[in-house]
Amino acid sequence: MSKDSTSHSEGLILSKIYTEVYDKRICIPVKKSIMRQTGVKRVAKGGSEWVVKDDNVSVDPELLIRLNAAELSIVVQIISELKRYNVFWYFPYREKGGTKERAILSLRKKGVLIKTEDITMHIVNPRYIKRGGILGVLAASIELVQQKGRINIKFYKHLKIPDVFSLGFFGLLID
Say whether both 3 and 86 belong to one domain.
no
Average pLDDT for 64-70: 95
| pLDDT-based confidence at residue 41 (cuts at 50, 70, 90) | confident
Q: Are 113 and 153 contained in the same domain?
A: yes
Per-residue confidence (pLDDT) for residue 5, from 0 to 100: 55
With a cut of 80, say whether residue 47 has pLDDT above it. Answer: yes
Q: Please report, rounded to a whole number, the percentage of residues in the chain having pLDDT higher than 70.
A: 89
Looking at the fold, whether 108 and 141 belong to one and the same domain comes out as yes
Global pTM exceeds 0.85: no
Of the two residues 54 and 72, the one the predictor is more confident about is: 72
- The better pLDDT of the pair 146, 40 is held by 146
Give the pLDDT band of residue 20 (cuts 50, 70, 90).
Answer: confident
- The secondary structure of the chain in percent helix, strand, coil, rounded to multiples of 5, reads 40, 25, 35
Domain assignment of residue 171, yes or no: no
Q: How does pLDDT run across 103-142, given as a tens digit for each residue?
A: 999 999 999 999 999 989 999 999 999 999 888 899 899 8
d(CA 58, CA 38): 25
Of 8-17, 31-40, 117-126, the range with the highest mean pLDDT is 117-126
Summarised one tens digit per residue, pLDDT across range 83-101 is 999 999 999 866 677 899 9
Q: Which domain holds residue 2?
A: 1-53
Helix (H) or strand (E) holding 26: strand 25-36
| Mean pLDDT of all residues belonging to the chain | 84
Position 74, amino acid: I
133 and 82 together in one domain: yes
Residues with Cβ within 8 Å of residue 115, at least 6 apart in sequence: 108, 122, 123
Same domain (yes/no): 152, 75: yes
Least confident of 59-68, 78-87, 166-175: 166-175
- Whether the per-residue pLDDT at 3 is higher than 80: the answer is no
Average pLDDT value for residue range 146-169: 82
What percentage of the chain reaches a pLDDT higher than 90?
Answer: 41
7 and 91 in a single domain? The answer is: no
Flag whether 7 is in a domain: yes
Q: What 3-state class would DSSP assign to 128?
A: coil
Tell me phi and psi for residue 70, to 5 degrees.
-65, -40
CA-to-CA separations, 157 to 70, 85, 95, 124, in angstroms, rounded: 26, 9, 25, 14
160: left (phi over 0), alpha (psi -120 to 50) or beta: beta
Query: How many distinct structural domains can be found in the chain?
Result: 2
